[in-house]
Structure formats: structure tokens, C-alpha cells
Chains A and B, each alone.
Chain A
């Protein structure tokens, strides 16, 4: 790892002025599980690391009328083990509990993960399914971006701009009667990156699908939201044939990188299979 200067501002305002002073030479450090690994492998060089470790009030989980409010410095393990999260949005509990290992979750933060934009990470597909928003702050003020509005731009590229810091996320309540599932295909080890990952939510009322959502991870340069699934299923009585038809529509969203977890063709096929399985669970077809 190359040398750099380390800054520990005590307030967001101080952090913003450091980011302003050093411009593109600076990077924001939250938990560091992604960034430090990249720096150790000389994948990126940083001259000024601006750590959020001394900034208070960015570590919270609250349930409000708007849904779940989570501070950017909240750890992923806090998300995975919070009673408030589990009572209100168990899909988040399930998803964050799947991230790497407890040691990584204890350091990795919610805001860091959202800013990092690793295409194979667990939370992004679920944040797309739950229609989460990201709060970012710069010296000029705050803005809020829905993750579905192209927050995830490309490999490790997200909507956080130069000089901005992710301060938290908001996740709206899930619709009444929603069933959810987060499943991933791990042919190697339980803490590996998935070959494919699928997050899903479904609501069936009076025998008819009223809401169905699917997000996919590891199948493209970012996590993707599969809007096409609802077009096949909403307004209809759920059947396995329809779930198969809906799952087929995710094929066009897949452009995976071939690696030792599978060829591009194989990963795409598995994305369809895992979407079908997730749909069968959230539409109550697997009983």
C-alpha cells in the first residue's frame, strides 16, 4: 500500500472542507473493508484518506412514519441483528446477514457499501426491491436519491459525487402481506461472492398478484432491478408457469463477467433459475 495522509474530521462540515481542499486526491473511508482491500492490492491510490470514524450521529437505526432510517456509519452486522429491522423489514435482516462473515459485517458499514457499489454485494438487490433512498451530503447541502434512479452506475461507481458523503439510507415500509426472499447461488464457499443473487418481494391478495419485485446481484456491472417481472405477473393468479415466464424476462438484464464461478451463459441461466425459485417462494407457490 502506498503512503497517504489520514484525516479524522470531527464533523461533517470539516470532512466536506477536507474533501473540497483535496478534490480527486481524497477518498472517504467508512468501515474500510472494501477500500482498504483495494488500496492494499494497489488497485487504487489515495493521497488523502478522510475517515468518518470520529463523526458522531451517523450510527443509528430508527423506525419512523417514512420507514426505516439508517445512519451511514451503522455497521452491516447491526443491520443484520437489529430487532427494529427484523420486525419491520425482515428482508433486510436476511440480506445483511448474508454479507461475507461476521468479522467483515462488524466493520463494513451500510453507507460505505452503498457508496462502494460492488456489483456482487448482497444489499444492493434488496435495496432496489425495497425502493430505498440514499442520503448524500456535500458542503452545499443534502440530497436524496432513490437507488432505482440509477444510483448504481457501473462497477464500483455510484451516484455519490466528488465532495459528497453518504450519510444514511431510508427504506420505506414493505406493503402489507408481503412475502420476501433473498437467495444466492454459492457453489464454492458460504462466504464467497455469489454466482448470482436474487432478492424478491411478492404480495398476493384475493388469489391475485398485486405487487411483485425482483432485484439481481452479480449478473451485470451493477445490481439490477427487473421491472419486467411485474408486467408478467401483476393482476394474475400466480402459477409456476407464470413464474417461469416472468423469470425468463431477467435473461435480457444479465451481462455477467465470466470467472471461476461460471461462464456468462451459465450465470445467466442460473439468474433465471434463481429468479424462478425466489418467485415461487414470495408468491406462495412452493408449498
Chain B
């Protein structure tokens, strides 16, 4: 099996590891680099759990190869908080019930973080449209929408 060196910067830290070209980005992040905050579920780019930010946009890390991320700047759930200070979305997901069984939460936070970065005051329809494809099998979508709205308020108030 050919292994190739892959270098990425994740949450500000540069990592290099060898992996076969067939390694998906989510497996590389989890198993080669040990950052297990990012989850995998559907494995076909549909459920949103494996959402990470890569070079400024969110992508499904399960349908990207790690070699496609060569040299990329990546943010995962581990890089969302500022030290011990949680991101407003993390606070809101805990306080308003967006955090339920927890499996989909890393993807929900990575996806909604990207939304709030470009629009800190989204309407409910804008949230639904953007978050389409971030599935929650607890089906607690209203709590997730409410959490995103509350996080938007916190961001607008400079929290």
C-alpha cells in the first residue's frame, strides 16, 4: 500500500502524517491525527455530521480524500472555543436544548458557525435552508434552530 505524506493545518496547528491516498479526510482527522470531535455517520455526504471548515468553507469530510486537503487550513469542532471560553453556539446549544444525544452536534455547530459568520441575524427560513442536510435523529430541530438564533443574538451583542 502506497502511503503519502499529507500536511494540513487544523485549528492553527500544522500536522503531517502518512496515509494511503484512499484515506478520507474524516478518517485522517480522527484516526491519523487523533482529533475525534469530528464524527462520521452516513459516509456519503448526506447527514452533515462530518462537517468541517476547509479553506473558509464548510465541506463534508467523509466524501473528500485527505490528499485533496493537502496544504489546507481546516477548522474542526475542537477549534471552535477560544481556550476555555466556549463559542456562543456551544453555549446556546447547551442552554437552549440544541445539544441532545450529542452525535450530530459537532456538525450542527460547524455548519451554523459558518452561517452566523456571514449572517449573524438569519431568519428561521434562512437557518432551515442552510442547515438542510444536517440531520438530527433525535429530531429536535426546533431546539437547534432556537439555539442558533440565540447564538446569533449573543454574537450581535458582542458576547
- Show the binding face of A for B, using Cβ within 8 Å: 1-6, 8, 29, 32-33, 36-37, 39-41, 49, 51, 53, 75, 77, 100-104, 106-107, 189-191
Contact = CB atoms under 8 A, between A and B. Distances in A.
Nearest to A192: B46
10 contacts: A32-B68, A40-B44, A53-B68, A100-B133, A101-B132, A101-B134, A103-B45, A103-B48, A103-B59, A106-B59
A4 B68 CA distance: 14
A75 B117 CA distance: 20
Contacts of B65: 6, 32, 36
Given A51-B68, A107-B60, A107-B64, A4 B45 contact: no
B90 interface: no
Nearest to A54: B70
Given A53-B68, A103-B51, A103-B133, A2 B22 contact: yes
A248 B21 CA distance: 50
B58 A6 contact: no
A103 B111 CA distance: 8
Contacts of A8: 67, 70
A102 B130 contact: yes
A37 B20 contact: no
A29 B64 CA distance: 11
A36 B21 contact: no
- Which size bracket describes the interface of B in this complex? 20 to 34
A40 B24 CA distance: 9
A37 B58 contact: no
Contact of B2 (A1, A3, A32): A3
Contact of B67 (A2, A51, A189): A51
B18 to A, nearest CB: 13
Contacts of A100: 45, 133
Interface in B37-96: 43-46, 48, 51, 57-60, 63-65, 67-68, 70
Contacts of A77: 57
B1 A33 contact: no
B21 A4 contact: yes
Contacts of B17: none
Given A32-B64, A51-B67, A106-B59, A101 B133 contact: yes
Contact of A190 (B21, B43, B132): B132
B4 interface: yes
Contacts of A39: 22
B22 A37 contact: no
A6 B67 contact: yes
A1 B132 contact: no
A3 B21 contact: yes
A189 B134 CA distance: 12
Nearest to B118: A81
Contacts of B68: 29, 32, 51, 53
Given A33-B63, A49-B21, A101-B132, A106 B4 contact: no
